[in-house]
Structure 1
Amino acid sequence: MTPVPLRIAATAELATLLVLFTNLATVHSPVVASAIGPVHGCSYLFVIVLAIREARSAGTRAAALIPGVGGLLVLRRLATERRRGRAS
């Protein structure tokens, strides 16, 4: 079972990045950027901290550093690590 806080932070990280890119490509509103930017930054940092706490391998921890999709990659790698741990 994947950690719920990590799943929430990874989803928030990706969603806020998509909002920021959409804003940049369309209206480029500074209000949207100033409201969503800090949320994205916090969720990115949460993903990194939670990945360091949960992951055993350095590769999984390093995957958290990829902006936007890093959290989703960490979730996938954690699931793989747990499956391999049960099989052993």
Structure 2
Amino acid sequence: MLRVLKIAAAVEAISICLLFLNLFTVHWPAVSSALGPTHGTAYLVVIVSALATAGATTRGKLLALVPAVGGYLALRNLSVDAR
């Protein structure tokens, strides 16, 4: 599950950056239509994988709920707890 969380966290962060870039520049509806569901799916995968990860604390699971960067926060919490 940790590998899934890493990939989903990256997709979530990259997709939100691209969504904001599109919003503040050309604002093409096709880009929003493609990236919006991608970001939403990645966000849900981050939450589910953080909940399913063995050894994740309650704080780590709650950090996964933060939009855009929750996956990275949960991963950071997992790495701190592993030390």
TM-score bracket for the superposition, by shorter chain length:
over 0.9
Which runs of 5 or more residues in structure 1 are unaligned?
Answer: 84-88
Aligned length: 82
**8 A contact 2:50–2:56 mirrored in 1:** no
Please tell me the root mean square deviation across aligned C-alpha atoms, in Å.
Answer: 1.3
TM-score normalised by length of structure 1: 0.88
Structure 1 stretches of 4+ with a deviation exceeding 4 A read none
* Higher alpha-carbon Rg: 1
The reply to whether residue 82 of structure 1 matches residue 43 of structure 2 is no
1:24 match? 23
Which runs of 5 or more residues in structure 2 are unaligned?
Answer: none
1:48 match? 47
1:43 maps to amino acid: A
Q: Aligned to 1:56, what secondary structure does the other structure show?
A: coil
TM-score normalised by length of structure 2: 0.93
Give the % identical residues: 45
